[in-house]
Chain A
Amino acid sequence: MPEGLSETPAKQSVLASDRLALRRRWRHLTDQIAKVSIAVGGISVIAAILLIFAYLAYEVVPLFASAQVEPSAEFVLEDSTPSLHVAIEEQSEMAMRLGEDGVARFFDLHSGEISAETAVDIPAGATVTSFALDSEESGIFALGLDTGETVVARYGYDTRFAQLDNRRILTPKIDYPFGNERYRLSGEGNSDPVASLAIRTSGENMLLAATSRRGGLKLLRASKQTSLFAAFDLGGGADFEIEETTLDGLTLGGEQLFIDGDRFWLFVIDAEGLARLVNLRTAFSTPNPSFEVQALLTEDGAVPTDISFLLGGISLLVADDGGTISQWFLTRRDEGVDLERIRSFESSDSAIIALTPEQRRKSFVSVNSHGDVALYNTTAHRQAFSGTLATAGASAVAVSPRGDALLIESAPGSISVLEVENKHPEVSMAALWSRVWYEGYGEPDFIWQSSAATNEFEPKYSLVPLSFGTLKAAFYAMLLAAPLAICGAIFTGYFMAPMMRRKVKPLIELMEALPTVVLGFLAGLWLAPFVENNLLGIFAVLVLLPLSILMTSFVWMQLPDSIRHAVPDGWEAGLLLPIILLATYLSFVLATPIEALFFGGDMRFYISNELGINYDQRNAMVVGFAMGFAVIPTIFSIAEDAIFTVPKHLTYGSLALGGTPWQSLYRVVLPTASPGIFSALMIGMGRAVGETMIVLMATGNTPIMDASIFEGMRTLAANIAVEIPESEVDSTHYRILFLAALVLFLFTFMFNTVAEIIRQRLRNKYSTI
């Protein structure tokens, strides 16, 4: 550089030191930037991984949160006739109140402004003497009149959407799905009013039961006629086939009537709470039916105050003046059916005044004389909320179809509206982990059945069968894997010739990399049919293999030294390869004639027909083989490390003192390495518990609780894989599947952590020896 040459050396060095300083500052800066960004990056990656746990917990926590109830509006309607029934519309915008005058008044749920008034078609001058509701969902009700007649009507809403802004417009209506005519269910004339009524409909069939004030009990069945020309029968009045019967000989006083959801039983309940049942399936054909089942629904002399069917019409809820609500349903017993008390809910000593079931869940709301409002779920046997929100002396309570609003009527026309946040009432620790007496079952049981076709289905969220299946699969897998892997590890780590070990260890560890989907596929499509056809052969292998190995060992010892010394120590496994292949082959060949001789040629047939043991093709044995295969390398690898790294001078010391190799192993090496082996087992167990694809493919995935080796199972992991794609986001089912994932996560994480800590301590111990 000619210019550089012309400058003085001093200036040059100043420039250089300037540049150097700049460079040093720059280097320092990059170092600092790198330090900060690596720290931030590193911490955030680790945080992201730990986020999994936090997120799973975040999804699960709402399951166990209590319900929230907030007052949202209070108003007095311009109507003060005593009410028969109140109900809220689907989106909690409107509500209906049916007065004793037979007029349905529809009002805005926020302002209380009455938007429509429609009178039920009852004859002039007649008064309503009784009322019955089919169910909250259908909105069909019956009014019994003092003329002895009964009117069946339905309240509902026509929904359409405004063109302009897509706003929902509701038009309330009262219609008559079973025709406009009035049914006469009590004696002739005005002198015998309808005293009590029950109605139950299903599609186009209806069943009415009524008592008259004189004590007669009458049934009426109406079903729509579907004639050949029904399709052309436009607009004309529908024809109903009517069948009536009077139940003679049953004398009644002031009893209340209820009909169950299947229309099989009529419940006749008197003022003291004595329930007597009439079998409706035979009532129309038997001339003089009698009461078949009888039970007292209250305890300690309490008197029932409100009775209602739970969603689905199977369970009867009975509230009494002692503050107790009990759930009853019919159970099948040897001698017939029994009306049994399933569970009861007690909150205070104050009398329950009103009780209303929810329309989509097995939950209900109650109000007591103190004004305490409580939300319950029957399956979970749980009180989701309780609080004093109503004035004392409330008379009726309604709950919206979505369960997000309550309406409480205190004095006639005086309404308070409550907003409810009650997303997961059906979950409680008891519902998840202990026996629950589900509707229709004879006794409490553990059942997982998350969904069904109907709305009225009671979801059964017991995690016990799934956990049982998980442990069962893991158990059978460990039964195969633990001995094979640990014995293999002992031999490889202690006895095996180094050259052979270098080949064998990577081969077995390669097993770990095998995709489990391939193992599952082989187990389900190749092994399961193979095991089914060669059941005896499989058992023969289990016996013959160890025997043949022991025989080989014994015979080998008898051989002359010249032969024995030709094979160096530590190659026994190689010698055994042909022996084991031969023994396996022989087992299957020999099994065939034995099977023909003792088991009629088909062992599987023999097991299911002669022994009465259910045989599932994809069963625990197949899973045990496949998953054992998947777990062997995990256990083997860790256990082998633990044994191989036991300091050699310990072994030499033992051998020098005259111990045989086996004694040195048994007395010195194994005790030293045992924590490592234990941690290998734990990690293997953790892997078996969380394995998904193998169980999914190699079992029938039925959530049963049966320890039999010939039955399948469903595990937590497989259950998640099967059900979560179909579950609705944020629903109870979805969150319970997250809970299952959280349980799996915690279980394996804890197992692995304990195992890891044990290994670290072992490593420290070795380094000090």
Chain B
Amino acid sequence: MKMSVSKWVNSGEPFVWLNAGAVAISIIMVAGLLGLLAVRGMAHFWPADVMQATYAPPTSGGAILSTEVIGERVETESVSSIQIVSSGIPVDESEPFYDRQLMKIGNRDVTGADFTWVLSDYVSEVSYPAEVVAMERREWGNFYGFLQGVRQSGEALAGDEEALWQEFRERLARALSIHDAIYDIEKNDIGKINYALERLRLNQRRLELDDALTSEAMADLDRQREGFNAEYAQLQQRLVELNEEIDRDSALFLAANGAEVEIEFADIVRAYKPNQMGLVGKVGTYFEKLGEFLTDEPREANTEGGIFPAIFGTVMMVLLMSVFVTPFGVVAAVYLREYARQGFITQAIRIAVNNLAGVPSIVYGVFGLGFFIYIIGAEIDQLVYPEALPAPTFGTPGLLWASLTLALLTVPVVIVATEEGLARIPRSVREGSLALGATKFETLWRVVLPMASPAMMTGLILAVARAAGEVAPLMLVGVVKLAPSLPLDGNYPYLHLDQKFMHLGFHIYDVGFQSPNIEAARPLVFATALLLVLVIAGLNLSAVGLRNHLREKYKSLEV
């Protein structure tokens, strides 16, 4: 023994090490959390191998009930035998633990559930058949099975397996392109007409309210309405044709339970044979799915498909917020630092502003809801949009109010950062400018503000990062789980400030906690969370970088 225990304790080393341990634990927690998000979030898009096996758990009656299972293995955990017995499977209780695995078996329309737990000990004849097809559908989630045949207008096509698969892929490509055309008409063309018709209705109502609805005006409105209706009828006709075309083909599949399932091509999003794919194929599919996730709209109550509207909504809201927050934050900071007399009151205001950054965000949400929406918004509706009443235009949560609320929430961040930047600029620089005869404003405009601009940027980036991650106030002032259209589109006036929008953070909350099929949605939520964390971490790191850059830059000036 080099050192006795008492000496060791007296040296204070154990405390030092405990403190070191706290740092290490914190680091592990951060890294672990990021790692967990990354692994779970990234794994979502990987086309996993599909396993086929026979599952024969013991039953209470003693009879062996064996079932075929086809699906992806999701996770494995060890469960105590008591739990298994109490769930109705009479396993041997002398064995304390059993492994069980969660299988994604898809085929919700056939089996009723798309996930199932199986006990590893009772799974036999595990194989990875090359022919098994994994398929993403527009309804009922994934499908796993074997391709049996392809039908055109009810007539089965002949051919061997290889030829059928080729035929299947060609027809799928055709169906997908028709689907795109249908989507385009439904979303864009018909959406535009509906929007125009609604505007006509509002115009008419407005004229009515102004007592200016003359017969000419009415006739004009009617003429326009007829024009739109005719256009609509045409589009409707085209839709019917396209729908007939897309419904032409169907494919026949053999599911795990032996049932033959006919699936319309119109319902298929993507189909592939994962067990046949090489690494290159899998990587290709991975990025295809990742692309879909980033650019597509959600399907199936947000639990599948992409999150593009949420990304778009978050970006729109943050941009608008920046437009509000930057000038106001900078002006307030400049006033506090450059113009206001430095004294007790300025100091008090500074502390108050600083502390507002620590006020719970939900309080801002309450303020936004009560003040912006129910007071200001309702007033705007009365004055500017009487024709739409009683349906509220701005008297209801929407993009404008959400951005304003978040601007209020983040303005302290910008003020504090800008003030810090202004304080860092040495007196000598200012004095030099003044000595050369510049006015105070000129000094500010030409010398001080340019030098403080990185600090403002830092403040803005921090504000954006905070705003992008904030959910609680948004729940009250404008975020919805599913917005029918984007807040920026091709319909006049293009930017719809009164619209509700989708948001990444709220998407996580909503899909994770309000979704009926949480097991299926969970990987998607992990992916969304990862995306959000990456965006925010990126923003923060760039803010830190900017700040360091700024400090380096002015270090030479500080004498």
A491 touches B512 (CB 8 A): no
Q: A491-B22, A514-B469, A724-B476 are in contact. Are A752 and B355 (CB under 8 A)?
A: yes
Contact of B439 among A28, A507, A515, A632 (CB under 8 A): A28
B471 touches A553 (CB 8 A): no
A690 touches B513 (CB 8 A): no
B412 to chain A minimum Cβ distance, whole angstroms, is 7
B509 touches A504 (CB 8 A): no
A576 touches B20 (CB 8 A): yes
A517 touches B505 (CB 8 A): yes
A524 to B340, CA, bound (A): 48
A sample of 8 inter-chain contacts (CB < 8 A) reads A510-B30, A550-B18, A558-B1, A662-B12, A683-B358, A690-B358, A745-B360, A760-B351
A632 to B475, CA, bound (A): 26
> Which residue on B lies nearest to A512, using beta carbons?
B540
A553 touches B17 (CB 8 A): yes
Residues of B within 8 A of A485 (CB): 22, 26
B439 touches A753 (CB 8 A): no
B440 touches A31 (CB 8 A): yes
A592 interfacial by beta-carbon distance below 8 Å: yes
B351 touches A757 (CB 8 A): yes
Residues of A within 8 A of B349 (CB): 46
A34 to B25, CA, bound (A): 52
A55 interfacial by beta-carbon distance below 8 Å: yes
Determine which residue in A508, A514, A546, A729 has the highest number of CB atoms from chain B within 10 A of its CB, and name it: A514
**Could you give, for residues 56-96 of chain B, a 1 whenever the CB lies within 8 Å of some chain A CB and a 0 otherwise?**
00000000000000000000011011110000000000001
A515 touches B533 (CB 8 A): yes
B19 touches A487 (CB 8 A): yes
A507 to B469, CA, bound (A): 18
A696 to B275, CA, bound (A): 42
Residues of A within 8 A of B20 (CB): 491, 495, 549, 572-573, 575-576
Residues of B within 8 A of A557 (CB): 2-3, 8, 11, 13
A592 to chain B minimum Cβ distance, whole angstroms, is 7
B80 touches A601 (CB 8 A): yes
A717 interfacial by beta-carbon distance below 8 Å: yes
A136 interfacial by beta-carbon distance below 8 Å: no
B38 interfacial by beta-carbon distance below 8 Å: no
With A513-B465, A573-B21 known, 5 other A-B pairs at CB within 8 A are A43-B335, A487-B22, A513-B539, A696-B509, A721-B475
> Which residue on A lies nearest to B356, using beta carbons?
A49
A752 to B30, CA, bound (A): 26
Of B185-193, B198-206, B362-370, B494-502, the one touching chain A: B362-370
A59 to chain B minimum Cβ distance, whole angstroms, is 6
A686 to chain B minimum Cβ distance, whole angstroms, is 5
B14 interfacial by beta-carbon distance below 8 Å: yes
B16 interfacial by beta-carbon distance below 8 Å: yes
Main secondary structure of the interface of B (DSSP, over half): helix
B359 touches A518 (CB 8 A): no
A42 interfacial by beta-carbon distance below 8 Å: yes
Tell me the chain A residues, 468-492 only, with Cβ under 8 Å from chain B: 483-488, 490-492
A496 interfacial by beta-carbon distance below 8 Å: yes
Residues of A within 8 A of B362 (CB): 690, 692, 717, 720-721, 741, 744
Residues of B within 8 A of A576 (CB): 17, 20-21, 24
B331 touches A693 (CB 8 A): no
Which 4 residue pairs are nearest across A and B when measured between Cβ atoms? A662-B12, A42-B335, A690-B360, A515-B469
> Which residue on B lies nearest to A604, using beta carbons?
B83
A35 to B442, CA, bound (A): 11
Tell me the chain B residues, 292-307 only, with Cβ under 8 Å from chain A: none
**Could you give, for residues 744-763 of chain A, a 1 whenever the CB lies within 8 Å of some chain B CB and a 0 otherwise?**
11001101110011001000
Residues of A within 8 A of B367 (CB): 52, 55-56, 741
B28 interfacial by beta-carbon distance below 8 Å: yes
A629 touches B29 (CB 8 A): yes
A577 interfacial by beta-carbon distance below 8 Å: yes
A669 to chain B minimum Cβ distance, whole angstroms, is 12
> Which residue on A lies nearest to B17, using beta carbons?
A553
B37 interfacial by beta-carbon distance below 8 Å: yes
A532 to chain B minimum Cβ distance, whole angstroms, is 11
A725 interfacial by beta-carbon distance below 8 Å: yes
A513 touches B540 (CB 8 A): yes
**Could you give, for residues 49-65 of chain A, a 1 whenever the CB lies within 8 Å of some chain B CB and a 0 otherwise?**
11110011001000000
B17 touches A572 (CB 8 A): yes
Tell me the chain A residues, 262-296 only, with Cβ under 8 Å from chain B: none
B33 touches A522 (CB 8 A): yes
Residues of B within 8 A of A365 (CB): none
> Which residue on B lies nearest to A42, using beta carbons?
B335
A520 to B472, CA, bound (A): 12
Tell me the chain B residues, 460-478 only, with Cβ under 8 Å from chain A: 465-466, 468-472, 475-476
Interface size on B, residues (CB 8 A): 106
A428 to B26, CA, bound (A): 46
B240 to chain A minimum Cβ distance, whole angstroms, is 40
Q: A27-B442, A31-B441 are in contact. Are A41 and B328 (CB under 8 A)?
A: yes
A756 to chain B minimum Cβ distance, whole angstroms, is 5
B14 touches A516 (CB 8 A): no
A39 touches B339 (CB 8 A): yes
Interface size on A, residues (CB 8 A): 116
A741 to B367, CA, bound (A): 9
Q: A683-B358, A748-B359 are in contact. Are A533 and B509 (CB under 8 A)?
A: no
B122 interfacial by beta-carbon distance below 8 Å: no
B105 to chain A minimum Cβ distance, whole angstroms, is 21
Determine which residue in B82, B359, B506 has the highest number of CB atoms from chain A within 10 A of its CB, and name it: B359
Q: A717-B360, A745-B360 are in contact. Are A518 and B472 (CB under 8 A)?
A: no
A726 to chain B minimum Cβ distance, whole angstroms, is 11
A35 touches B440 (CB 8 A): yes
A546 touches B18 (CB 8 A): yes
A56 to B23, CA, bound (A): 41
A42 to B466, CA, bound (A): 23
Residues of B within 8 A of A752 (CB): 354-355, 358-359
A546 touches B509 (CB 8 A): no
A524 touches B360 (CB 8 A): no
A687 interfacial by beta-carbon distance below 8 Å: yes
Q: A38-B334, A52-B364, A596-B96 are in contact. Are A601 and B82 (CB under 8 A)?
A: yes
B416 to chain A minimum Cβ distance, whole angstroms, is 11
Contact of A661 among B12, B22, B23, B471 (CB under 8 A): B12
B228 interfacial by beta-carbon distance below 8 Å: no
A445 interfacial by beta-carbon distance below 8 Å: no
A156 to chain B minimum Cβ distance, whole angstroms, is 28
Residues of B within 8 A of A725 (CB): 369, 475-476
Contact of B411 among A49, A549, A573 (CB under 8 A): A49
Residues of A within 8 A of B518 (CB): 525
Q: A596-B97, A752-B358 are in contact. Are A577 and B19 (CB under 8 A)?
A: no
B331 touches A45 (CB 8 A): yes
Contact of A42 among B78, B97, B336 (CB under 8 A): B336
A72 to B404, CA, bound (A): 44
A584 to B24, CA, bound (A): 12
Residues of B within 8 A of A690 (CB): 358-363
A596 to B97, CA, bound (A): 9
A46 to B332, CA, bound (A): 7
Determine which residue in B339, B441, B532 has the highest number of CB atoms from chain A within 10 A of its CB, and name it: B441
Residues of A within 8 A of B333 (CB): 42
Tell me the chain A residues, 493-548 only, with Cβ under 8 Å from chain B: 495-496, 504, 506-508, 510-511, 513-518, 520-522, 524-526, 533, 545-546
A552 interfacial by beta-carbon distance below 8 Å: yes
Residues of A within 8 A of B356 (CB): 49, 52, 749
Q: A46-B353, A48-B408 are in contact. Are A693 and B23 (CB under 8 A)?
A: no
Residues of A within 8 A of B439 (CB): 27-28, 30-31
Residues of B within 8 A of A556 (CB): 17
Q: A27-B439, A515-B469 are in contact. Are A521 and B508 (CB under 8 A)?
A: yes
B444 interfacial by beta-carbon distance below 8 Å: yes
B5 interfacial by beta-carbon distance below 8 Å: yes
A101 interfacial by beta-carbon distance below 8 Å: no
Determine which residue in A38, A511, A574, A593 has the highest number of CB atoms from chain B within 10 A of its CB, and name it: A38
